[in-house]
Amino acid sequence: MSSRGNFSGRIGFILAAAGSAVGLGNIWRFPYLAGQNGGAIFLMIYLGCILLLCYPIMVGEIAIGRAANSDAYGSYSKLGGRKWGYLGLFGILAGIMILSFYNVVAGWAFGYFLHISFGDLLNEPDFGGFFGTYVNDIIDLSSWAGFSNSNLVFSLIFMVLTALIVAQGIQKGIEASNKIMMPSLYAILLGIIVYSLTLPNAISGVQFYLVPEFSELKVRTIVDALKQSFFSLSLGMGALITYGSYLSKLENIPTSARVISLADTSVAFFSGLMVFPLVHFLAFKLNIDPQQIGTSGPPLIFVVLPQIFHEMGPVLGRIIGGSFFLLVCFAALTSTISLLEVPVAYLVDQKKMQRKSVVWLIALLIFVLGLPSMMSQGMVESLNKLTFYRGNDFLTFISDMSDISLTVGGCLMAIFISRRWGMDKFDEEVAQGNDRYLNSGTRKFLHFSLKWAAPILLGFLSVLIIVEKFFGVENLF
C-alpha cells in the first residue's frame, strides 16, 4: 500500500464505515421523522429505500474508491475523466456543508452531556424554555452549574476532538477511535432500551412504532424516508469512496456493505425502540395523550427526553440521561471524523499537503462556516427567518441543501457507474475478494438497481424534494 494509509483489515473498515453511518441522523433525526410520518409505515418505506437504492449505491461507492485508490475527486477523474472529477468536488463541498451544521448540533449534545452528568440541567422547571435560550445565546459567558454555557465553546471542542482523531491518520486515528466508540455505543443503546421497556405504558409506545397505519402514507413520507436513508448511510457525496480507497482488495465489498447497512439500520430502529416507549411513559406520567407531546422536530431529544430523565428521579435520571447524551456524542464523533476525512483526503492526495496541517486548516474553516448555522437559532434575526427560504432558519436551509445534494449525488453516481465507468469494470472490481460474485443473484440485482432503479427513482425524487423545499408544496402531497 502507498503512504496514503489503509485500514488494518475487514473489521477496522466495517467499524469505521458503520461509525460514519451511525450518527445524529439515527438518534436525533430518525425518531422524529418516524414520529411525524406515522411510525411503522415510515419504517417500512425506509427499509425499502435501503434495500433497493442505498445498498447498491453503497457497493458502488466503495468499489469506485477501491478501484481508483484515491479521494472523491481523484477517484471520479481517474475512472471517468476530468469532467467527472467535478462530481467529486461537488461531493467534497457537500461534505463541508454537512459538517458545518452537523458540528453545531453535536456541540449542543456535548453540552447536554456535561450539564446532565455533572451539572443540574435536570432540575430545570422548563426544558423547552431552557433549550430555546441555550441554542439562542451562543456566547453566554455566564458559567452555569460550574460549566461554560456557551455553544460556541462546545462546538469548538467537538471540532477539536474530531481534528485530533483525523490528524492521527487512518489506523491510529479513525480506526482506533471507532473500535472503542462503536461497541460502547451499542452497549449503552441496548442498556437504555432494556430499561425503557420496563417503564409503565412502554408497550403502547412500541405499538405506535411497529404497527403500520396505512392511512398515514403520503408522498411526503416517501420523500422523507429517502432523504433520511441517504443521509443516514453517509451516501452520495464520497465519504465511502474515501473510506473505500483505504480498503484492501482482499475484502468482500457486497458483504461489508451488507454489514454496514445492517449496523446503521439497526441503530436507527433501536433508537425508535428507545424513544417511543419513553415518550409514552411520559404521557402516562403527565396523564396526557402521547400525541400532545411534540415528538416532531429537532427538539425531541433536547426537550422531551430531558423531561423524561427528570421524571426518573435525580440519581437514575442523571445516569440514564448522561449515558444517553454520551451515546449521542459517540455517534456524532464517529460521523464527524468521516466528514472531515473527505476534504482532508482530497488535499493530501491532490495537493500533496501534509495530513496534520491540512486537518487543522480545514477543521478551522468548517467551524467558521458553521457560525451562521449556530447563530440562526434566534440570535440573529435575519438568519433565523430567511426570506428567500420561506422563513426557515439558516441551519434548516443548509441541512435541506445537504439532503438534496446527497440524492442528486447518488443519482449521478449511479449514472457514472452504469454509463461511464461501465458495469464490466464495476463487476471486475467487486469480484475481487468475492469469488462467487460473477454468477450471483447479487450481481443481477446490483445491475438492475444501478442501471435503472437508482438513476430513475433518485432523479425523480430529487426533483420532488427540490420542488417541495423551495416552493413549500407540502399540501400538494
Chain residues binding ligand TRP by CB under 6 A are 20-21, 23-26, 98, 231-232, 234, 237, 239, 335, 338-339, 406
377, 446, 382: which is closest to 135 by C-alpha? 377
CB of 42 to ligand TRP, least distance (A): 16
Query: Closer CB to ligand TRP, residue 109 or residue 114?
Result: 109
Query: Closer CB to ligand TRP, residue 77 or residue 232?
Result: 232
51, 49, 391: which is closest to 221 by C-alpha? 49
Query: Closer CB to ligand TRP, residue 20 or residue 70?
Result: 20
Rounded-to-integer distance, Cα 286 and Cα 265, Å: 32
CB of 407 to ligand TRP, least distance (A): 11
CB of 267 to ligand TRP, least distance (A): 9
Which three three-digit cell numbers place residue 201?
Answer: 405504558
DSSP label of 37: T
285, 232, 269: which is closest to 39 by C-alpha? 269
Query: Closer CB to ligand TRP, residue 25 or residue 60?
Result: 25
Query: Closer CB to ligand TRP, residue 20 or residue 245?
Result: 20
Q: Would you mind telling me the total number of residues written for the chain in this entry?
A: 477
Which three three-digit cell numbers place residue 413?
Answer: 453516481
Query: Closer CB to ligand TRP, residue 109 or residue 282?
Result: 109
Rounded-to-integer distance, Cα 25 and Cα 228, Å: 7
Helices (H) and strands (E) in the chain, counts: 23, 2
DSSP label of 121: G
CB of 423 to ligand TRP, least distance (A): 25
CB of 152 to ligand TRP, least distance (A): 22
Q: Which phi and psi angles does 217 have, rounded to 5°?
A: -70, 120
CB of 424 to ligand TRP, least distance (A): 28
**Which parts of 287-418 fold into alpha helices (H)?**
299, 305-311, 314-350, 355-374, 381-384, 394-415
Rounded-to-integer distance, Cα 257 and Cα 58, Å: 6
Query: Closer CB to ligand TRP, residue 154 or residue 243?
Result: 243
CB of 129 to ligand TRP, least distance (A): 27
